[in-house]
Amino acid sequence: MPTIKDIAKAAGVSPASVSRVINNGPKVGAKTREKIKRIMGEMEYQPNANAQAINVQNNASIGIVLADLTDPLFAKMAHGIEKVAAQKDLQIFLNSGAFDQTSELNAIEVLLEHRYKALVVHSAMIDDKTLIEFARKVPGLVLLNRHIKEIESRCIWLDDKAGGGLMAEHIVEQGHKKIAIIAVDGIQNNTRHRIEGMKAQLAKYPVHYQIEVLEQGAATYEGGEVAVQNLLARGVEFSAILAYNDAIAVGAVSMLKAHGLSVPDDVSVVGFNNLILAQCMKPKLTTIHNPIEEMAMKATELALRLSKGEGTDVASFSIEEHQYTPELVIRQSVKRID
């Protein structure tokens, strides 16, 4: 693999000139430029990006850390980031965190070692304090789908409380009084916020609601199945299920059917995220729309701006731009009861 020196020698010029041609710099005459270009082509020269990155302080790539790409929600995040990157002709370095603290930390560290200036991180497991420290150290770091008060100007997040509220509101307005909530365990704050939101909403009505919160390990289709099985086995009474996400909701529906219960006739189900899955299934799933792709795009743009030292003035911070609002999408999986 030829280096810049080889090209220079072959073209009878100095490495500096070659470098200037590579970077479309000035100070190289049209003729020389052509010649150098030709030789670069002939010798199949490819600049060593690592060597370039040593010198240039402005690494034109975005580092991102995500948990698990097989979760369509995270895939959508990735897609949002990609869209911004492609549009600005930037590269993405993706590092998968795999949902445990040490590998998430490791992922961030790797990104820092590569001197990426703009970082979009989606961390579910790292504690606030550590993240705050990272944020202080790295100006271009933005947290996606997480809200830490101390550095909220560096966060893009969903109003999970409002999301929980919407779910509860919809359900009780349809007359439901016995509600099962399928949450997920772990340190994840959004599950907690949503439940808080639900409870806060329910507290607004002068009715007594029967609530059962079930913490279910896996936020997946199978998780939804076992959650319902669990509920039924324990004889919990419920006419509505509020699920942590669409996958769980779909799993729940499937298991309810397996037990001869119809959705929405016997049990109403509400999902969360509004993934494509929610539209495909039968009955179409009533769910909460999560504008994660827009959020991801926003986070990316923010990270890029911050990494360039722009928009550092905290004065310009407005919650409206950083906190996204979920929306109720009514389809067919909820039925009014009396």
Partner DNA sequence: ATTTCATCGTCAATGCTTTTCCCTGTGCCT
Partner DNA sequence: AGGCACAGGGAAAAGCATTGACGATGAAAT
List of residues contacting its own copies (CB under 8 A) = 44, 46-51, 53-54, 68-70, 72, 75-76, 78-79, 82, 86, 91-96, 98, 103, 109-110, 112-115, 137, 221, 247, 250-251, 254, 276-277, 279-282
d(CA 132, CA 58): 23
- C-alpha dihedral sign at 280, 285, 286, 290: negative
List the one residue out of 253, 242, 128, 106 whose CA is nearest residue 179: 242
# chain residues binding DNA, by CB under 7 A? 33
- Please select the residue that binds DNA; options are 41, 44, 54, 315, rule is CB under 7 A: 54
Regarding 13 and contact with DNA (CB under 7 A), the answer is: yes
List the one residue out of 331, 300, 304 whose CA is nearest residue 78: 300
- Please select the residue that binds DNA; options are 5, 38, 259, 336, rule is CB under 7 A: 5
CB of 135 to its own copies, least distance (A): 14
Regarding 39 and contact with DNA (CB under 7 A), the answer is: no
Query: In terms of DSSP bridges, do strands 155-158 and 323-324 run parallel, antiparallel, or are they unpaired?
Result: parallel
Question: Would you give the end-to-end CA distance of the chain in angstroms?
Answer: 76
CA distances in angstroms from 221 to 2, 127, 183, 216, 246, listed in the order given? 52, 28, 13, 11, 8
CB of 212 to DNA, least distance (A): 54
Scanning 54-62, 74-82, 132-140, 288-296 for contacts with DNA by CB under 7 A, the matching segment is: 54-62
- Side-chain half-sphere CA neighbours of 70 within 13 A: 6
Q: Which is nearer to its own copies, 31 or 282 (CB)?
A: 282
Q: Could you say which of its own copies, DNA, none residue 139 binds, taking C-beta under 5 to 8 angstroms by partner kind?
A: none
CB of 110 to its own copies, least distance (A): 6
CB of 37 to DNA, least distance (A): 12
- Please select the residue that binds DNA; options are 24, 26, 149, 315, rule is CB under 7 A: 26
**Hey, is 60 helix, strand or coil?**
coil
Q: Which is nearer to its own copies, 168 or 263 (CB)?
A: 263
Q: Which is nearer to its own copies, 59 or 201 (CB)?
A: 59
Scanning 41-49, 72-80, 241-249, 280-288 for contacts with DNA by CB under 7 A, the matching segment is: 41-49
Q: Which is nearer to DNA, 22 or 329 (CB)?
A: 22
**Alpha carbon of residue 214 to chain centroid:** 24
Phi, psi of 141 (to 5 degrees): -95, 130
CB-CB contact of 121 with 65 (8 Å) = yes
Phi, psi of 96 (to 5 degrees): -90, 130
Binding site for DNA (CB under 7 A): 1, 3-5, 12-20, 22-23, 25-33, 45-48, 51-52, 54-56
